[in-house]
Structure formats: C-alpha cells, structure tokens
Amino acid sequence: MEESENSSNALPPFSGYSPTGKEKGDLVYVNYGRREDFKLLQSMNVNCSGKIVIARYGRVFRGDKVTNAQKCGAKAILIYNDPHDFAPVSDEDLFPHGWWLPRSGVQRGSILMGTGDPLTPRYPSKDGIYRKSSDEIKMPYIPAHPISAEDAEHFLSLLGGDKAPDDWQGGLQITYRLGPGFTGNYSDWKVEVETNNNHTQRNITNVIAILKGSLEPDRLVLLGNHRDAWVFGGIDPSSGTASLMEIARALGNKYKQGWRPRRSIVLCSWGGEEYGLLGSTEWVEDNVHLLYQRAVAYLNVDSPIRGNYSLYVRASPLLHQVLFNASKQVKNPIDIRQSVYDNWLDKFPAADGLNPKVPPLGSGSDYSPFCQRAGVPSADIRYVFDMYQFHNISAYPTYHSIHDTFYYVKKFVDPQFTTHLAIARIWVSTAFLLAETPVLPINCSDYAVALNKGFHDINTKYGKSLKQKGISLKYLEKAVKKFEDGAENMQSLIANVDLNDPWKLSFINDRLTGLEKNFLNSEGLPGRPLYWHSIFAPSLYNSYASATFPGLHDALVEAVNNGPHNGNWVVVKEELSDTIVAIEWAAQFLKSEV
C-alpha cells in the first residue's frame, strides 16, 4: 500500500445521498440486488420486508440496488465487492502485488442517478433559482453503506436459510445462503446499520475554455471530462483530465502559430460529477437553448484508461463514422503495426463484422445531460481491459476505492502512458474532424440502422403480447421507413454538395446539427421526467445500460410484468404514439427541401 493510502485525509467509505439512520434486523443475501434477484427471492418465499439486505456490486448501478431494496420493504442495505467480480485470483495477485482489488477494498459512490442538483430539477442551480426542500424530492430513504469483502464474509459465513442458487455463489470461500438471519450459536444476533451522512449545499466550479472558430464560430464542438474523484482518482477521472490538459496544450500551441478551427472548440472541465453529474447537468440547464441552436457534438471521457486491450466507445449513431475515421489515424499503443481502428474492429466487431460495435449511450457520466436534455450527438470514449476474459467485471477492480492511484495506473494499467496518448489523439482527432470538415462528418444512415434494429427488437420480444391487445406496430415500422428515406435523401445531398456554395453547406450542416434534437420530448419518459430523448435513454432497471425506444420499452416491461389483465396498456399506446411521432418529425426534418 502506498503511504498516501494511509492518509487521514483520505475519504472514508460511504454512499453519497444515503440518509442518516440506524436500523437493526435480520440479514438477507440478495445477490446483485437486481429486480430479477428480488423477484426470485419472492418466488422462494424469502421475505425482505423489515430486513437488512446485503448485495454485491456489479451488473447494475448501485442506486438501482437501493431502489429495488426499498421497493421490497428492506430497512437498510449493505453493498460489497465480491472477489468473484473484483478479484477472482489468489491473494498473491491482489493489489499492491497485482491489478485486483484487495479483500479490504471498498467502492464508494453515489446512490442517486445523475440528473443534476436534485433541489433544482430542470433549472440551473444558481442564485435566484427556487430550491425544493428535501421532503419534496425523490431521494433514497433507507440507509445504504458500502463494505469490503473481508467484512461481508463475517456476515455471509454465518447466514442461515436455504443455500443460494449456484449462480448466486460468489468468490468468498463459503457457501452462500439466503437467510434471513444467522444460524447456530448466532441465531439471535441481528445486524445494525448506522449511517451519519451530512446533507449540505456546496459550491462547485466548472472550467470552460473556448477556441473560437474562424468561419463558423457559432458552431460548437465540445470536449468534456470531470475533475472530482472519490479519493485519489488515478484512473477516474485523472486519466481523462491528463488527456484533456494535453489536448488544451496542443491546441494552444497551434493557436499561437496562427491556426483557428473552422468551428469553435469548447473544452469543459466539470465539477461534482460523482454526486450526480452536477457540473455538467447544471451547465446544460443554464445553456440549453444555446446548445439547441449551436452544439455540433459532445465528446466525453471519464475514466478512459481502464486497460489497454481495445478502444470501446458508446455513442449516438450520428457519430459512428467520424469515430471510425479518427481511430484509423491513430496507432494502436500496444502494437503500432496496426491502427486503433483495426484493433477495435478485431476485438469488438459489430454483428455484420464490417465495423466495430458502438453501443448507444445509457447514463453514468457527463454525456448524459447533453444527449438526454439537449439532443446533442454525444460519445463516451475509453480504452478497456479484456471484457471477454473478465466478463464479470463491470469496472476496473479498484474503481472508486482508495487504491485508484497514480501508482496503480503506472504499475498495472499504462506504464509508459502510451494508451493515454492514444486516447488523447483519438479524442482530439474526432474533434478536429467535426470542427474542420466543411460538411459535418455526420452519417444519418447509421441512425436509420439503429431505428430499424430497435423496431425489430421490440417486435421480436413483445410482438405477440401487443397483437393479443390489438396494438399494431405497423405505424412504427412505417415511421422508421420514412426516416430511412429521409436519411437516404440527406446522404445524397451530402455526396453532391458544392463545397463552394456557402448556402448549400449551411443548409446541410443545419440539418445535421439539428437532427438529434427532433427526438426530444420535454415531458420526459413515464416516471422519469428528466430524460427527454425518445430513442435512447438509460434502461429503467440498469441506469448504466441503454434502452432503445425507452418510453415504449418501459411501458411494455411494466404492462407485461403486471399480467395480461392488470397491465397498463394505455400507457403502451401513448408511448408508442410518442415514439412514432418523434421519428416522423426527424424524417420530415431530413427530407424537407424548404
């Protein structure tokens, strides 16, 4: 362990936004605390109501675990890092000897999904703006606290009740049981959880730097990364901050030599990301109409050096091609005989094998308010470890722990900082193409492919249930076809544009800049009024993941799960209509010649 890790100034483990409280009760093991885990416990007649539950990190956002526990009546929740997910190796390979989290390691983190300052929803959190009281907002209401695998083993090794299912068995050298309560000589013991969190208001600072464009200064290409960390933040976020600072230095040198980009480049250093995307969300809310009119794209990094296996990007379909082209210009840091693109295609191919796989965005970092609230085409760029080999790991092992340090990065992740350099080059190359290319390098046809896939996924999974309720998807299919026609029309205009005609260039670029904003519905999704995007949003049951046609998807999940007679199929019809209209608006926007 490094000397700094013993510092008295190091932040102790806690769960951000957990209420202060003290609860005592029998313990129940709930696996990952997913919705389906609680459902399985219910089917096995294991009652969580009035109990303390213990869940392992992974698979879903930690706040979703708390929400699911609340819904099942639990009084408090403990969350720990199971070795199966964060250290499936012998003790000799644990940090500081290896990459893996020691048994004493604890992951901190917020349990409130990032939608900005919860006291000022929809409005910027600044002087003169009305703030709700804590009683008026939807906050976690049961105590939540993170613990280590060492501490979790003391509890789990004593649990009674039935043996947990085979796929619930973790990496501790015990037989995992469900509870409730302890067994043998400890049968009358209870678990007490006490949290003492101080909910206070604090000021945070965003730092924004603008390199003004020469020909189209009103068009903004934004790059962003957050500065705040749970402890030392060697990877999260300092790997991204170092990359952003190097980009700033390089752009500054070019500016001194007399260069300006065609469009303006905006560098954003966010504060307060770890407490719910505070800095970025409040800035978006303060500048939302400016972004509607002027933003070209937002390119995010957070913890971009999670390994050196391959590039891995989540992005709006509009940005796929520019990301591919940028990655072709950068050498693979591990094998300079190939480009980053070649390695990316080899490691994460799409289903057709023609290009790398680029999943859509969910939530979890500062891109969320840009795409969800302002309709700005966004991307989250990172290098990752071999996720096929370590498929159980949802983040690098020391994520949000005291061991995420500079030493950890240099010793185990990127010793020569070549992957840092590759990320910075991909990031700035993508921005350069977006800022300099006369016709914006945005491809509408990739969005048509994503819409088509979304339609077929809904039809495959829910087509039978919809048919039984007399609900047809034919108009959704027609809307997708209209969008395909509009995309084809736009790509034809791009292919034949006269680059010397400023009016035609402006006509096309205005369409490309404004397209994604057609998908916004300011009423938001059912039960989630701060998520406005009708095509992509975080999954209702895993906020890190993405759902396509999220309003329709959420409504269908709820209607089907509540049974054929109890499900609210009116909401399904409403969300289907909203999705159809949003796609048709976008199709009209692309096809219109006026």
Catalytic residues: 273, 472, 510, 533
With contact defined as beta carbons under 8 Å apart, do 435 and 297 qualify? no
Q: How far apart are CA 309 and CA 320, in angstroms?
A: 20
128 SS3 class = coil
Q: CB–CB of 472/479 below 8 Å?
A: no
H or E element: which one contains 464?
helix 445-468
Residues pairing with 182 in the sheet: 159
What per-residue string of b and e applies to 100-120 under the rule 16 or more CB within 10 Å gives b? bbbbbbbbbbbbbbbbbbbbb
Tokens of 472: 């047809």
Distance CA 219, CA 82 (A): 47
Tell me the C-alpha to C-alpha distance, in Å, between residue 425 and each of 191, 262, 314, 453, 503. Answer: 51, 19, 17, 32, 32
State how far the Cα of 182 lies from the Cα of 190, in Å rounded to an integer. Answer: 8
Sequence-distant (≥ 6) Cβ neighbours of residue 261 within 8 angstroms:
211, 213, 214, 221, 432, 435, 436
158 HSE (CA, 13 A, CB side): 16
Cα–Cα distances (Å) from 515 to 34, 227, 482, 487, 509, in that order, read 35, 31, 14, 10, 10
Q: Among 370, 360, 365, 351, which Cα is nearest to 395's?
A: 365
Residue 379's nearest CA partner among 192, 158, 518, 546 is 546
Cα 208 from Cα 62, distance rounded (Å): 30
Residue 464 burial by CB count (10 A; 0-12/13-18/19+): exposed, middle or buried?
exposed
Q: Are 556 and 473 in contact (CB under 8 A)?
A: no
- Closest CA relative to residue 319, chosen from 296, 302, 350: 296
Judging by beta carbons within 10 Å of its beta carbon (0-12, 13-18, 19+), is residue 279 exposed, middle or buried?
buried
The H or E element that residue 193 is part of is strand 191-195
Q: In this structure, are residues 276 and 199 in contact, taking their beta carbons and an 8 Å threshold?
A: no
Residues 6+ apart with CB under 8 A from 164: 29, 31, 176, 177, 178
Query: Shortest CA distance to 270 belongs to which of 234, 232, 300, 296?
Result: 300
| The token pair that represents 237 in the structure block | 């976020």
